[in-house]
Amino acid sequence: AQTVTQSQPEMSVQEAETVTLSCTYDTSESDYYLFWYKQPPSRQMILVIRQEAYKQQNATENRFSVNFQKAAKSFSLKISDSQLGDAAMYFCAYRSSMIGGGADGLTFGKGTHLIIQP
């Protein structure tokens, strides 16, 4: 079974600074998808960014980018120019590319609580 590990329970960053959230995962598969979801205090899960394992290029979405290291099974999220609205729990998630056979659901890490200091 796949596992996702987020080793930072909490991170703090000054507004306008850059912060990196770490995520590692364990899998024997070669093709899969990785996600970062944001969960603000409202507790809704919001997709931040997605990475396909077969793509070597790191995904970017405006101020959010990832550092995907497939060999190291590492998938960190970088937030540039941090804003107060970025304060939330951030969850890293894994999904196999296989259809069915236990592959459908997302496997989440325990999350990192990001605090933005004004």
Binding site for other proteins (CB under 8 A): 33, 35, 37, 42-47, 50, 52, 91, 93, 95, 100-111
Q: Please report which helix (H) or strand (E) contains residue 90, including its range.
A: strand 88-96
Kindly state the smallest distance separating residue 92's Cβ from other proteins, in Å: 10
Closer residue to other proteins, CB minimum distance, 100 or 118 = 100
Please name the residues in contact with 20: beta carbons below 8 A apart, sequence gap of 6 or more: 67, 76, 77, 78, 79
Kindly state the smallest distance separating residue 44's Cβ from other proteins, in Å: 5
Kindly state the smallest distance separating residue 46's Cβ from other proteins, in Å: 8
Please name the residues in contact with 41: beta carbons below 8 A apart, sequence gap of 6 or more: 88
